[in-house]
Amino acid sequence: MSFDLVFFGGTGDLTWRKLMPALFQAWRHGKLPTHGRILAVARDERTDASYRQWLQDKLASGDDLAKRPTEDEFERFAALVHYLCMDLSRPGDYSSLRQWLAARQADTVVMYLATSPHLFPIICEQLGAAGLNHPGVRVVLEKPLGHDLASAQAINRAVGAVFSERQALRIDHYLGKPSVQNLMALRFGNVLFEPLWRRESIANIQITLAESLGVGTRGDFYDRTGALRDMIQNHALQLLTMVAMEPPSSADADAIRDEKLKVLRSLKPFDAASVARDVVRGQYRAGTVGGVSVPGYLDEAKVPPGSSTETFVALRCEIQNWRWAGVPFYLRTGKRLARRHAEIVVNFRPTPHSIFPGAQSPNQLVIKLQPDDGLQLHLLAAKGALGPDPAAGHQAEHLSPVSLDLDFDKAFPTDRVGAYERMLLDALAGRLNLFVRSDEQEQAWRWVEPILEAWRHDASGLKTYSAGTWGPAAASALVARDGFAWAEES
């Protein structure tokens, strides 16, 4: 299969930090289809050679030494990479793109919009006007897709006027993580857990997406976005749908996305009273992370004085259907937390009647997303030693916690595919399973909008927390109200 992969925003952070390294790894692993070209598009005046040199310098500065290309590897990979100077607001520049693509007529053309979302309608309109929306073309839309429901719908209308739904790929790279794929395998490829995956057996489910970093140099962008839009509306809700959805009828993309949409439509809606009760928003102040003193959010570069933008959100939600009625789902995300840490924790109910003495913790399944990637199942086992049982008046067997730990990197030491690598390969192949459909995305916005509206009318609800902690104390109280605790507190 021949392909052309075009990156709009070819000199942007996303392209050189995530997309190009992922493509290089796909090429290194032999997974990138042959007969391909990669085109970076940006406003800078560059040649193919100068862009390749710039890209080599960027890849050579990566934190992971094992993923840096050797001189020989980069020379061979760079032969695929080209550059085109374009002003995305000028219709005439799209003629240059059309001519570049027409020189070879690849089987598949993927346009990756790694730009600000406000440019999506302009780019798609001009691609359509230039005839670059034929059935062999797909467009990948990077998040955040809109600022609210109305802007998301406007973008979807603009994209839909040029591309069909099957051509428009809304990316959420969390869905490409191997552990999320193994969540699907765990539920629908094995018989063990699915009978227990319901309200009768599960007490609560926690989804945590924690970052130890602050906003860095992105203070202006982040202040317009906040943690709710940046992480909850997309990543956290997509993970929730993967955990909570009904078994799809097949592995077909729409069969999966239909079930995810049902979950989003079943989420109990918020109103002003439930936002005040069930949503905690916070903002980090100065503190210590990893033994290093760090500034508070208001002292970060490009953050406006007195900003009330949230850097932390914790919320309690419920899914109103037979499978999950009464089971609380807790979602949590934040910057400058105790450590970089993303996981899904499924807490099972305690045994209905214990025949063993002593306190016993319920079973727990932990799906680790980052920085580790794997599964942990926490069980109870007999130590083989007797202890006193005051209630029975004699010696009895005591239970101790044990863990079954599956590290995917050790279990599958070869052919591991990173999130962006997986998503890019799926985009080239036209596999839509991991991309978000427009109705899913709009329903997620519809659910978070009452929270945004309540915050607009409540300037006093923002709580502060010290950098290097797990957020405001109110987040712990939110879970404790139901008699539970966050995983690190239990």
Catalytic residue positions, numbered: 235
CA distances to 210, 257, 276, 358 from 144, in Å: 18, 19, 26, 49
Amino acid (one-letter) located at 279: V
Residues 200, 207: Cα–Cα separation, whole Å: 20
* Tokens encoding 232: 């909850």
In degrees, rounded to 5, the angle at the alpha carbon of residue 360 between the alpha carbons of residues 354 and 361 is 125
E strand intervals along 31-87: 36-42, 81-85
Three-state SS annotation for 212-251: CCCCCCCHHHHHHHHHHHHHHHHHHHHHHHHHHCCCCCCC
Give the neighbor-by-neighbor strand order of the sheet with 3-8. 81-85, 36-42, 3-8, 108-113, 137-141, 168-170
Cα-to-chain-centroid distance, residue 431: 18
Treating both helix axes as pointing N-terminal to C-terminal, what angle do 20-28 and 419-429 enclose, rounded to 10 degrees? 80
In 3-state terms, what secondary structure has residue 336? coil
Q: Where are the alpha helices (DSSP H) in 246-398?
A: 253-266, 272-278
Cis peptide bond N-terminal to 269, omega within 30: no
Cα-to-chain-centroid distance, residue 449: 20
Task: Classify residue 399 by its DSSP letter.
Answer: E
